[in-house]
Homo-oligomer: A and B are copies of this chain.
Amino acid sequence: MTPVTPERAAELLLRDDAATKRLGITLLDVGPGRARMSMLVGEDMANGHRTAHGGLLAAFADSAFAVACNSHGEVTVAAGFSIEFVEPAHAGDELVAEAVEVVRRGRSGVYDVTIRRGETVVATFRGRSRSLGRPISAE
């Protein structure tokens, strides 16, 4: 069986991803080992300091990471990640998350996601993935 294309893998992954939809995250672009997604920071994404909740920024990056690490057509999950907050984001900001593959070996992978508002880096994220070794399918 030939693996699905990155586009088809993203389509199948995002079809059932209620969390990503709920955050209004949109896929801009996907390719082998990479993905680019956008999110508008809503009023309901603010934390107690009235900036974008760091955990929701992490969720945004995590969605881009998921699309990138599943792009090879194998069911792949996050083992963990780390994030550094560089610059606060605010309601009304249009953010872009760009995920790129750093390395993949056996069933493990490392992916970097950068969240930007225009040219400004808002956060840097590094995800560790683990393939389950079975193909992504329409089922």
The residues of A with any CB-CB pair to B shorter than 8 Å are: 12-22, 43-56, 58-63, 66, 70, 75, 77-87, 102-103, 105, 108, 110, 112, 114, 121, 124, 126, 128
Q: Given that A82-B80, A124-B103 are known contacts, is A45 also in contact with B18, CB under 8 Å in the complex?
A: yes
Please report whether the interface of chain A is mostly helix, strand, loop or mixed according to DSSP: mixed
Chain B residues with Cβ below 8 Å from A77 are: 49, 51, 85
- Counting chain B CB atoms within 10 Å of each CB, which of A13, A15, A53, A70 scores highest? A53
Q: When the two chains form the complex, which single residue of B20, B70, B79 contacts A84, counting CB atoms closer than 8 Å? A: B79
Q: When the two chains form the complex, which single residue of B46, B108, B126 contacts A126, counting CB atoms closer than 8 Å? A: B126
Contact A59 B48 (CB under 8 A): no
How many angstroms from the CA of A75 to the CA of B88 in the assembled complex?
Answer: 15
In order of increasing CB-CB distance, the 4 nearest A-B pairs are: A55-B59, A55-B62, A19-B53, A13-B48
- Chain B residue nearest in CB terms to A105: B86
Contact A103 B121 (CB under 8 A): yes
Contact A48 B80 (CB under 8 A): no
How many angstroms from the CA of A50 to the CA of B105 in the assembled complex?
Answer: 21
Q: When the two chains form the complex, which single residue of B15, B47, B85, B121 contacts A79, counting CB atoms closer than 8 Å? A: B85
> What are 22 A-B residue pairs whose CB atoms fall within 8 Å in the complex?
A13-B49, A16-B47, A17-B46, A17-B47, A17-B53, A18-B46, A48-B66, A53-B62, A55-B58, A55-B60, A58-B62, A58-B81, A77-B85, A79-B84, A80-B82, A80-B85, A81-B82, A82-B126, A86-B103, A102-B124, A112-B112, A124-B126
